[in-house]
Structure 1
């Protein structure tokens, strides 16, 4: 309740800024942006998934190969990612640290796990000509590539890479560089998204025997993410002094803006991780029960 009251108090000044940022950013020129460097891979992924799903369902039957809920997860994740890139949230993130945090949390704890759960690689493959699919299959069996993929998607490595990206980009100098240089900003987006995809792949797509390690590394991620959020929320001074130039129109001080950003990472972000951990623990218990009954049957 104390945290909720703090959030309400910090948001209270926003209506007083109706003449400034609070009303201007939605209608500002360039609020909705469609950078080719981001839109091309987004639309390429959408076209490949759509074509692959249609071709697979036409041959195997509707809902087979790609299940309906897998398709729903893909399009939900794709939509969240597209909105993060194109919507006014991107422009707003240049003014408010909390908007920047919301943007990246949506990528990391919404878009990335939804895309992983959807298992899109099969649909992507079916969109390609059969000769290309066979060629990619042969490339995928190269020992170096297969070993590299296994290493990158091992839970420990993926967790460390994701944590490193999270902490590195919240260092003042790197964060300021992302605000000042567009290519650094896109590098920041890419590192968050790619490491999040690797992390969620290692957690969600792990086999039954990896339930224990997956839960352990998920717990590590909960702790380190919450700790960073707490540091931001409870710090007595702003970490990122560069993101203060446009705050006057929002009725927030730099410290209040940072506290809100830390709260977003700490509480809503932490709740998503905890929810996944509980779901994974429940799946582990069900699997253990099924295995126990199977052993009793064949004993």
Structure 2
């Protein structure tokens, strides 16, 4: 039981293994925000279509799929499990930044919003991928430092500051990679490699740390058959190995697409 002077984390008290699947996060404010954002995207697409700026159906589908995955990461029992296990919190972050964010970004929500506000839809600046990767790296390292991480368990505002800034930076990064022109292929590769290397390095540091670093989990891992250090090592490995692989593969696919487009455009110009 939590004492009166110890705040309860946003996702609640640490769950027992036999009660985990009954611990869904049905926060009405969160659910309302998720539904409003999805509805705004649908409304924006409908309005853009009436103006002759129809978004391809496959892009709309990727947005909704990514948004559903993001919602599942925040609403499902993964939320309370992240109170018990550092590995679960890292897994939640990887789902949000490496699976949900690129899918949402492929739906081009920022470009859609720009068109609705009658802003120019010109391409991003040349250094956008590098700036986005630097911002993403800074936030990943900051929020996985022991002190800021521990603060997310004491304050709901800090908890959501972590999630919103990390997911927002991931959206900016993936948007800058996906929407890059063929001429920016080199910067896309550098930005992807920076993101891959920094996540791998941080994951390795966490994995090989000689002692537990994250105090909120010192007393919550035993119920799951793990020591705090084992839990930390598992979390570091999740960030290090799958995180690096997913980021590298998606970055290379984006690069390959840019190369193909760069080769096809001159060929079409010559044929005309």
Aligning the two structures, in what range does the TM-score lie when normalised by the shorter sequence?
0.7 to 0.9
Q: TM-score, normalised by structure 2?
A: 0.84
The answer (yes or no) to whether the contact 1:153–1:201 under 8 Å persists in 2 is no
Find 1:173's aligned residue among 139, 147, 150.
Answer: 147
Can you list the C-alpha shifts for 1:189-245, whole angstroms capped at 9, x where unaligned? Answer: 011111111111111111121111111111111101011111112222112123222
RMSD, matched Cα: 2.8
Q: Relative to 1, partners in 2 of residues 1:274 and 1:122: Cα closer, same or farther, differing over 3 Å?
A: closer
Size of the aligned set, in residue pairs, is 258
> Which runs of structure 2 are paired with 1:35-54 in the superposition (5 Å)?
35-36=28-29, 38-54=30-46
Identify the residue that residue 9 of structure 1 maps to in structure 2. Answer: none
- Deviation, 1:121, is 4.3
Give, in angstroms, the shift of residue 125 of structure 1: 7.2
**1:152/1:158 contact within 8 Å kept:** no
**Does residue 105 in structure 1 map to residue 91 in structure 2?**
no
TM-score (norm 1): 0.77
CA contact (8 A) 1:52 1:125 kept: no
Structure 1: runs of 5+ lacking an equivalent: 1-19, 127-132
Tell me the residue number matched to 2:3. none
- How far apart in 1 are the matches of 2:234 and 2:166? 20
Residues in 1 aligned to 2:223 and 2:17: alpha-carbon distance in whole angstroms: 7
1:153, 1:202 within 8 Å by CA — same for their partners in 2? no
Question: Unmatched 5+ residue regions in structure 2?
Answer: 1-14
Question: Is the 8 Å Cα contact of residues 83 and 89 (structure 2) preserved in structure 1?
Answer: yes
Counterpart for residue 200 of structure 2: 226
Deviation at 1:295, TM superposition (A): 7.2
Selected match of 2:181 from 187, 207, 225: 207
